[in-house]
Amino acid sequence: MKTALLAIVLVIAGLSCLVDRKSDDFECDENADCLDVGADRECKEHFCVKASCPSQCDSCGVAAKTCIIKCDNPTDCNSGVTCPSGYACSITCSRNCMPVTCTGATSCAVTCSGTNTMCGPLDCGSANPCTCSGSGCQ
């Protein structure tokens, strides 16, 4: 009897670990409040949650709002490149990147590096600085 009771208590104790409880450590009012619990978190609905890169970015720094976009393959950027709003983008084009839109970006640096590669036209909006370097910039 004691063994069965002990087994039941252990099962209940083990199941309590599966309960999803929000910790006060993860409460926030803004993204800056999440820096103590991880650079890859953002404030959503007053809790710091794991953030993910915008789909346009090949890699990013979510907390720093930086985005790296690489147009290396022939079909990567055929329909243009758009820097996500609020991000500082670094865009490398070894293939055609047409057009490049940075209207909602905080900054935008385009490097046009391929042979006979065309990059642009570059629409900066209020992104500052907004630059294109390389012989294929438009």
Nearest alpha-carbon partner for 82 in 122, 131, 42 = 122
Cβ(28)–Cβ(43) below 8 Å: yes
Determine the Cα angle at 17 with ends 15 and 19, to 5°: 85
**pLDDT per residue as tens digits for the range 28-58:** 998 788 877 776 787 888 998 888 889 999 9
Q: How far apart are CA 81 and CA 112, in angstroms?
A: 13
Max CA pair span of the chain: 83
Contacts 24+ apart (CB under 8 A), 32-39: 34/63, 35/63, 39/63, 39/64
Predicted confidence band at 73 (pLDDT cuts at 50, 70, 90)?
confident
Query: Domains of the chain: which residue ranges?
Result: 23-52, 54-138
Please state, in angstroms and rounded to a whole number, the distance separating the CA atoms of residues 31 and 12. Answer: 37
CA distance 41 to 63: 7
In this predicted model, what pLDDT tens digit does every residue of 84-111 receive, in sequence order?
999 999 999 888 888 999 999 999 999 9
